[in-house]
Amino acid sequence: MAKFKIIVSDPEEGKSKTVELEDASAAPLIGKKIGDIVDGSILGLPGYKAQITGGSDKDGFPMRPDVHGGVRRSVVLSGGVGFNPKNEGERRRKRVRGNVITDEILQINMKITEKPKEKKMEEEKKKEKPAQEKQEA
């Protein structure tokens, strides 16, 4: 069955967290595409929302958002995910994975797009305290 290693990054804090899912807990992710927003309770983060940003399959081929389906294909690339051109205008045929999550995907990258309201209020209070301390000094 499916076993995923999920890297969830928080752009606001600049930190990331690794979560591993197997079998039944991984089933809701199968069939999702790059760009889809997933409920955080699947990842063990209730109240959060996370967006799928990419991933790679069991052999290390990267997922590419503009290749449709869940299969591996050879496509001509001029840059972006899966190919870094050394010379200007260089193009090369490379193997990449499609944008749909299947059983063959091993790693999934996600970013947090929405936090629970309680957490947001706590963070705002923490930000206000240092500002108040500076004004008093």
CA dist., res. 40 & res. 46, Å (int): 5
Instruction: Report the distance separating Cα 135 and Cα 137, nearest Å.
Output: 6
pLDDT at residue 33, as a whole number: 96
Task: Tell me if the pTM is above 0.85.
Answer: no
Q: What is the pLDDT of residue 118?
A: 74
The pLDDT value recorded for residue 130 is 63
CA 78, CA 89: separation in Å to the nearest integer?
7
C-alpha triplet 104, 47, 115: angle, nearest 5°? 95
Domain boundaries, given as residue ranges, for the chain: 3-66+100-136
Q: Which token pair is 80?
A: 């972006």
Q: Give the model's pLDDT for residue 23.
A: 84
pLDDT along the chain (137 residues), means of 10: 90 93 90 94 91 95 94 94 94 96 94 83 66 58
Residue 123: predicted pLDDT? 65
